[in-house]
Structure 1
Amino acid sequence: MQLPTYRPSRQILSICALLAITLVCMLSLDLSHWEQGKATMREWTGMALGNSEAGGEVVVFALIMVGLESAVEGAMGIKTAIYHTSGPLSFHLIVDEPAHEHLLGLLSLITRPRFSIDVVFYPLSRDAMTKRLERTGWVDEDGEKRGSIRTTHPGGPGGMMKLFLHEILPSEIARAIFIDTDAMLIVDPYLVWSQFTTFSHDTLFSIPIHENAERPHVNADWQGASRVCSCVLLLDLGNMRAAPTMNSDLFDADMQARALERPANEGTWGDVFGRFGSEDGKTYRHVGLGDQGYFWALRQYVPDRVRALDLSYEVTTCLWDQYNIGMHGHANVTVADQVASQTRLEMTPNEGKLILPSILHFNCMGGWIWDSPEFHGHPDHAAAERWGDAVRYFWAYKWIWLNRGDGSATMTVVVKRDLRFWDERLAGKAVAEGYGDGWSSPEEDRVVVVEDMPEWYMTL
């Protein structure tokens, strides 16, 4: 018996075709949205982790360590930055040979970082630093050189190099974080870096400001500079070059006319320091806080181009109660109670606001810091009571424990020899004796692999 053949009508076929087309369109739309969502998530994750391939930024530190003791102390800032970071880091280290050797030994212990780390050493002699300081100032109408900056601070020319980080680092480095050697991070450095979003188009730098920290009994030597602290700086290096903030004998006439360092009664240096003068009338005297005095002068002269840094990023022991915050109990304190109990914040941008400790700065303590008796032998000391647990933990934390990566991140260490300051690079020639053949721009670096060193170590 032959079964009847079922033949659907054209109307039914049309309906089925229409339904199929609709279903395909819906699936395509959903897949498109899903792929778009995945792309958005990848972009967001990459930015959160500082992945440059996903459009994020690499956090840049510019640090100064001159002398072995300075390097031993300053290594704490590097270690805590690497420990806390959620993305790649770049360290630019101005050093002498003892500091370079010590830091290189520590960094050689890191072979599998969680995120990529680039380190550039800039060995700089005391003579080179001194000669750059001598190139500041100006020539008066009688052809006399006046105003070369100097200091009576024990930090000497090394400490003054904070004023020239925009000249030492390559021109393509636009921004950087600076911290003193006696400072350490207890948060992700990307939180510190996020403060750059508060900058305007012409901001030079951000600095902690303590308007309530004036000390009249030393005013003759400090001239009010205790009201800022150049211990933590967020530097817009591009704007500092464009200004420029520091003058040089090697600049052309146009750039010298733009420089923020000017003669008396014509700009920052004369107005803030010139009235104190010196016996020879050619240099400033009593700049007792070194570079900090000159940063204070800039704050006075161009306040609209200097931002007050959130004091969460400089919890200082110069104020012995440290805003009355710390890791000394009361973990369940409320925001209202903490704000009410905070101290020493009058006349600061943080008055009435919660301090979220991020960078601890152990200044005004004198002598050695991280394994000092204050932290290890006297637990009742104010700083030890508040932060001793954190200091002891990170001081003892081993560098090899920073090898938490899967092998995909890189560790690169480079040394730039025969360094010339930006003013010399602009002039196109080395003027300081003993600088060698040097290099006139970052693009002309020469690379030589050093023997008997890890494969990631290079010298330029």
Structure 2
Amino acid sequence: MANVATLFGTLWPANRKRFRLLVLAFFVLLSSTLLFFRDYSPFQEWNSSLNHHLAQPRPSNEDLPAPLISTFTVTAPPHVQTQAVTVTVPDPVVFSLIMWSHNSAVEGALLIKTILMYTSSPTEFHIICDQEARDFLQGRLALLTSPLYPVKVRFYQPTLQSMMDRVNREGSLRSDHDSGIPGLMKLFIHEILPSSIKKSIYVDTDAIFISDPTLLWNVPLKPTTAVSMSYHPDENSPMWHNASKICSCVMLLNLEMLRQVRLMDSNSYHVVKDDSYPSALSPPAFRAMYGEPDQNGYLNVKLGDQGYWWAIVENRPDIFEPLSFDFEVTSCLMDTYSTGLGDDGRSEDDELPRQSHTKGTQQEGILIRPKLLHFNCLYGVDVYMEWDGWSNPEEYVTKRWGPAVSYHHGYKWIWLNQGVQSRTGRMVDVRTLTNVEFADLQFAREYAIHAS
């Protein structure tokens, strides 16, 4: 202790001025602190701030932003003093799908799952199906309880006989494609779905989305366009009348326009002797490409409904627009345009010249950014996810997209339940319509009533 005092006494004369400054600073800090706690305690400041906040007027409904698309109002129970809040909800993206058989539903369920994985909008599914497909799909949909966005599902179950009758009323259609009569229903979607459905996306079941389907829904179309679909103008197949230049596997359909132009013919229309009703659009297109039909129908029509769509597209280019290759990266080209997973740091300038099968097409010089993968042309299997090639790392398709198939196939339906249970309505609305009547019969019935 004596040593410390001696040391302090030794340093004091040399540091007297600094010591005085330190003592002065200490007393200034102490005084400021005492004043703060006397007049401005944390509790007083918080209480004053709270009283000021509560005194502010609440904003009126007029101060809230106007709804962008559609709205609903959420209100609290009467005993809770609060104000209504307007919530903006996007319009739904509408799909029309065909699933006829258990295997078709197995593939189609994966397609639906990927749509729900990536969508940023409510979704409607209008599914033309048989009982077997419906049973499988309902099992998967039962696992969906609280998606991020509302989901509406409508099953349409026409009988096979009613579909055959509609084809017969057209008079000249026939198909040698494996999809058979259900496959031809792609030509009649606008007649099966109610007239309240103005637009839809059609996708074959052997495809998956890897991006937001809202991007496809929002593709701008000209006012005169009735159908936009995959288009491959560099594909030549004279034996198919070049029907491989399109693919009816992915279509953006203006259903209202297809009804207005009366896409498909029917003998139900012929009983009407009134020039105010248009003639069907398709018969002149079919005859221009395939000639006059014989008693069995048009000859040499390949690829099922796609052969008929091709005749329509060729004869009436004014109602057609091609889709970007983004929306159908097809495995019929096993190198899938030379794009695929891997090398995630590659630049656009490096990626673009690597693309293949784009020269002379609408995609030439434009980078493909895959949004939908189509696993067609994987022969020898009823369900493409069970293709033997997925276990072969040397297969081109497997190298490029095998991990994507494995991930989406393995993604559990229950993982889609990432939303909050709605108190204002059901988040998943599933219903079945069994009394399906084609629009040509509705027209004939209503015209007969009007005429009488």
TM range (shorter): 0.7 to 0.9
Q: Which of the numbers 383, 388, 398 marks the counterpart of 2:412?
A: 398
1:90 aligns with 2:114: no
Report how far residue 348 of structure 1 moved: 1.7
For residues 258 and 310 of structure 2, the distance between their equivalents in structure 1, rounded to whole angstroms, comes to 15
Name the residue aligned to 2:203. Answer: 179
With the length of structure 1 as denominator, give the TM-score of the two structures. Answer: 0.76
What secondary structure, in the 3-state scheme, does the structure 2 residue paired with 1:176 have?
strand
1:130 aligns with 2:161: no
What secondary structure, in the 3-state scheme, does the structure 1 residue paired with 2:68 have?
helix
Contact 1:244 1:255 in 2 (8 A): no
Q: Which of the numbers 187, 203, 207 marks the counterpart of 2:229?
A: 207
Report how far residue 404 of structure 1 moved: 1.1
What secondary structure, in the 3-state scheme, does the structure 1 residue paired with 2:384 have?
coil
Name the residue aligned to 1:5. Answer: none
What secondary structure, in the 3-state scheme, does the structure 2 residue paired with 1:135 have?
helix
Residue type matched to 1:357 in 2?
P
1:65 aligns with 2:111: no
For residues 412 and 288 of structure 2, the distance between their equivalents in structure 1, rounded to whole angstroms, comes to 49
For residues 410 and 276 of structure 2, the distance between their equivalents in structure 1, rounded to whole angstroms, comes to 49
Question: Is the deviation greater in 332-341 or in 252-261?
Answer: 252-261
Name the residue aligned to 1:382. Answer: 396
For residues 262 and 434 of structure 2, the distance between their equivalents in structure 1, rounded to whole angstroms, comes to 25
Residue type matched to 1:240 in 2?
L
What secondary structure, in the 3-state scheme, does the structure 2 residue paired with 1:230 have?
strand
Report how far residue 113 of structure 1 moved: 1.4
Contact 1:110 1:400 in 2 (8 A): yes
Contact 2:70 2:91 in 1 (8 A): no
Q: Which of the numbers 149, 168, 175 marks the counterpart of 2:192?
A: 168
Contact 2:190 2:255 in 1 (8 A): yes
For residues 278 and 250 of structure 2, the distance between their equivalents in structure 1, rounded to whole angstroms, comes to 29
Residue type matched to 1:273 in 2?
Y
Name the residue aligned to 1:315. Answer: 329
Report how far residue 35 of structure 1 moved: 7.2
Contact 2:378 2:387 in 1 (8 A): no
Contact 2:93 2:122 in 1 (8 A): yes
Residue type matched to 2:233 in 1?
E
Contact 2:147 2:419 in 1 (8 A): yes
Residue type matched to 2:264 in 1?
M
Name the residue aligned to 2:65. Answer: 39
For residues 265 and 70 of structure 2, the distance between their equivalents in structure 1, rounded to whole angstroms, comes to 43
Name the residue aligned to 1:286. Answer: 300
Report how far residue 123 of structure 1 moved: 1.0
Q: Which of the numbers 306, 309, 334 marks the counterpart of 1:295?
A: 309
1:118 aligns with 2:158: no
What secondary structure, in the 3-state scheme, does the structure 1 residue paired with 2:97 have?
strand
Residue type matched to 2:68 in 1?
E
For residues 398 and 276 of structure 2, the distance between their equivalents in structure 1, rounded to whole angstroms, comes to 49
Contact 2:183 2:305 in 1 (8 A): yes
For residues 53 and 290 of structure 1, the distance between their equivalents in structure 2, rounded to whole angstroms, comes to 46
Q: Which of the numbers 252, 262, 268 marks the counterpart of 1:234?
A: 252
Q: Which of the numbers 372, 375, 379 marks the counterpart of 1:359?
A: 372
Residue type matched to 2:389 in 1?
E
Residue type matched to 1:66 in 2?
W
Name the residue aligned to 2:267. Answer: 249
Name the residue aligned to 1:349. Answer: 362
Q: Which of the numbers 417, 420, 426 marks the counterpart of 2:437?
A: 420
What secondary structure, in the 3-state scheme, does the structure 2 residue paired with 1:208 have?
strand
Name the residue aligned to 1:194. Answer: 218
Name the residue aligned to 2:279. Answer: 258
Contact 1:314 1:358 in 2 (8 A): yes
Report how far residue 258 of structure 1 moved: 2.5
For residues 184 and 152 of structure 1, the distance between their equivalents in structure 2, rounded to whole angstroms, comes to 26
What secondary structure, in the 3-state scheme, does the structure 2 residue paired with 1:370 have?
helix
Name the residue aligned to 1:372. Answer: 387
Distance 1:339 1:179, change over 3 A: same
Unaligned runs of 5+ in 1: 1-26, 47-51, 138-147, 430-439, 441-460
Report how far residue 321 of structure 1 moved: 1.2
Residue type matched to 2:290 in 1?
F
Report how far residue 396 of structure 1 moved: 0.7
For residues 113 and 55 of structure 1, the distance between their equivalents in structure 2, rounded to whole angstroms, comes to 14
Residue type matched to 1:356 in 2?
R
Report how far residue 273 of structure 1 moved: 1.2
Distance 1:352 1:389, change over 3 A: same
Q: Which of the numbers 344, 351, 376 marks the counterpart of 1:338?
A: 351
Residue type matched to 2:165 in 1?
K
For residues 129 and 179 of structure 1, the distance between their equivalents in structure 2, rounded to whole angstroms, comes to 20
For residues 227 and 315 of structure 2, the distance between their equivalents in structure 1, rounded to whole angstroms, comes to 13
With the length of structure 2 as denominator, give the TM-score of the two structures. Answer: 0.77
Contact 2:237 2:243 in 1 (8 A): no
Residue type matched to 2:106 in 1?
V
For residues 255 and 166 of structure 1, the distance between their equivalents in structure 2, rounded to whole angstroms, comes to 21
Question: Is the deviation greater in 182-191 or in 246-255?
Answer: 246-255
For residues 408 and 170 of structure 2, the distance between their equivalents in structure 1, rounded to whole angstroms, comes to 40
Residue type matched to 2:343 in 1?
H
The RMSD of aligned alpha carbons is: 2.6
What secondary structure, in the 3-state scheme, does the structure 1 residue paired with 2:233 have?
coil
For residues 318 and 105 of structure 2, the distance between their equivalents in structure 1, rounded to whole angstroms, comes to 35
What secondary structure, in the 3-state scheme, does the structure 2 residue paired with 1:406 have?
coil
Contact 1:203 1:236 in 2 (8 A): yes
Residue type matched to 1:71 in 2?
A
Residue type matched to 1:417 in 2?
T
For residues 154 and 286 of structure 1, the distance between their equivalents in structure 2, rounded to whole angstroms, comes to 15
Contact 1:247 1:256 in 2 (8 A): no
Identity %: 38
What secondary structure, in the 3-state scheme, does the structure 1 residue paired with 2:152 have?
strand
Task: Map Cα deviations across residues 214-252 of structure 1 (whole Å, 9 max, x no partner).
Answer: 124xx1xx2110110000000000000000110111123
